[in-house]
């Protein structure tokens, strides 16, 4: 929907649907960064179990034990070999949550410091 609405004439928006596959992500995401040199990247995950919009304060690199859609899991249980254990968002998620809540929409926003590992 955001792709249809856009973000204004001054914003070059690129939207990609990325399969839940470790090896595809490891190949595709760096290629997209190289191609677009973005100022901001927003990764959005969808869960059929979610009852709220969850804003993640950090993403983890280790502890992955679940199989992806290709029935693959890295033997090291690590997404990026040699990468940092955690990457913290520079976006103030508390402020984002407060602003969304202030809009009076029928949306519940929660904040997490422990993104899921899949």
Is residue 56 flagged as an active site residue?
yes
Q: Which two tokens stand for residue 34?
A: 């190289």
Q: Which of 3, 21, 56, 85 is catalytic?
A: 56
- The catalytic residue positions are 56
């Amino acid at each position: 929907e955001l792709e249809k609405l856009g973000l204004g004439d001054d914003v070059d928006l690129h939207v990609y649907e990325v399969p839940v596959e470790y090896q595809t992500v490891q190949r595709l995401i760096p290629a997209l960064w190289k191609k677009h040199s973005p100022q901001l990247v927003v990764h959005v995950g969808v869960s059929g179990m979610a009852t709220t919009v969850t804003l993640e304060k950090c993403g983890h690199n280790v502890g992955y034990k679940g199989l992806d859609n290709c029935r693959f899991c890295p033997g090291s249980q690590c997404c990026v070999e040699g990468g940092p254990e955690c990457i913290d968002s520079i976006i103030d998620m508390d402020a984002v949550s407060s602003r969304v809540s202030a809009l009076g929409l029928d949306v519940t926003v929660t904040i997490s410091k422990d993104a899921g590992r899949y």
